[in-house]
Structure 1
Amino acid sequence: MKADPKADAAAVPKSSPKKLIIIIVVAVLVLIAGGGGAAWYFMQGGADGKAAVKEAAPAEPPVYVPLEKFVVNLQPEDGEQYLQIQFTLQVPTLEQVDLIKANMPKIQSRVLLLLSSKRASELNTPEGKRQLSSEIIAAVNEPFVDKGAPQLVSDVLYTSFIIQ
């Protein structure tokens, strides 16, 4: 039982030129819509990228306020020990520098009280020094007047750190 090749050819309907044109037009429209969507996506991403760079760039470079050397007795562990430390505060503006300089006695008092409460074993490790930096920032950022605005010290940069 052989199948008739002419019958198989007759069973497959021929596609009309109208259907072929419609398929091509739909495919072109899909490609155009996809290209337009991709262009919009990348243009939006480029605009957001430029805005993010502008937002990330600080308006002014940070300003540094060096403080005088502090020498304090540490809490006793294995005999008398003292800490000699010098550091610089990082602030965002010159107005903050003026505010800190005008209130330097309060800052010195706060830092001295903080430093004299420490033990040498707490300060010997890098983690201890980082913790001390956080505590100094918190102490200096406390408002100088009741219900006043806090200072904007963002970092403590050690320039000398000696424990004896």
Structure 2
Amino acid sequence: MKSKIILIVGVVVLLLAAVGGTWFFMKSSAPVPMPTGAEGEMMAAASPALKAPEYYSLSPSFVVNLQNERGMRFLMIEIELMSRRDDTFNRVEQYEPRIRNDILLFLSKLDREAIATVEQRQKIQEEAMAVINGVLIAESGKGGVDAVYFTKFVVQ
């Protein structure tokens, strides 16, 4: 009889420990209530949520002759664009012929020395982004491309 009471007390203590542990862990992971009213509006204005990045491929690849070469040298680049704004890629698609033209003119001025190092290629990425945003600003009044990525970079 005494062993049954000890067994029952042990089960009750174990059950209370399980309930208490569950409550402790659930309480600490409960969501923090968001402020409402003017306080919530001020916080939302101070820290706007970043939109997930979207990507756009300028395909087909860009192929240009490199300047000042003894033999015929070609540069082939595939370009991907990244933006966090909603309407950017609609405008890129609308003005893509002019964007491709201006990028081709920009890339055709390059020579082998201008693309030799990683730092120079990163500078070319920045300049390509400036070319693209320049077209978008000229045509629609606002840019929107946040980054330019070279997904292929081949010199032959």
- Relative distance call for 1:66 and 1:147 in structure 2 (3 A) is closer
- Relative distance call for 1:146 and 1:84 in structure 2 (3 A) is closer
Q: Cα distance, 1:80 vs. partner? A: 1.9
Q: Cα distance, 1:85 vs. partner? A: 0.5
Give 4+ residue runs of structure 1 displaced > 3 Å after superposition.
143-148
Q: Cα distance, 1:103 vs. partner? A: 0.6
Q: Deviations over 1:103-159 (max 9, x none)?
A: 100100010000000011111210111010111011001144758513111111111
Task: Give unmatched runs, 5+ long, in structure 2.
Answer: 1-42
Matched, 1:129 2:121: yes
Q: Which residue does 1:61 correspond to in 2?
A: 52
TM-score, normalising length: structure 2: 0.65
- The alignment partner of 1:67 has SS state of strand
**What root-mean-square deviation, in Å, do the aligned CA atoms of Structure 1 and Structure 2 show?**
2.4
- Within the candidate set 118, 143, 148, 1:151 is matched to 143
- Relative distance call for 1:144 and 1:78 in structure 2 (3 A) is same
CA–CA distance in structure 2, aligned partners of residues 151 and 111 of structure 1: 15
Matched, 1:72 2:90: no
Q: Cα distance, 1:102 vs. partner? A: 0.6
- Within the candidate set 76, 86, 90, 1:94 is matched to 86
Q: Deviations over 1:17-59 (max 9, x none)?
A: xxxxxxxxxxxxxxxxxxxxxxxxxxxxxxxxxx69x72741x
Q: Which residue does 2:74 correspond to in 1?
A: 82
- Relative distance call for 1:143 and 1:71 in structure 2 (3 A) is closer
Q: Counterparts of 1:38-53 in structure 2 under 5 Å?
A: none
> How many positions carry a matched residue from both structures?
113
CA–CA distance in structure 1, aligned partners of residues 128 and 77 of structure 2: 12
TM-score, normalising length: structure 1: 0.62
Task: Give unmatched runs, 5+ long, in structure 1.
Answer: 1-50
Q: Which has the larger radius of gyration?
A: 1
- The alignment partner of 1:161 has SS state of strand
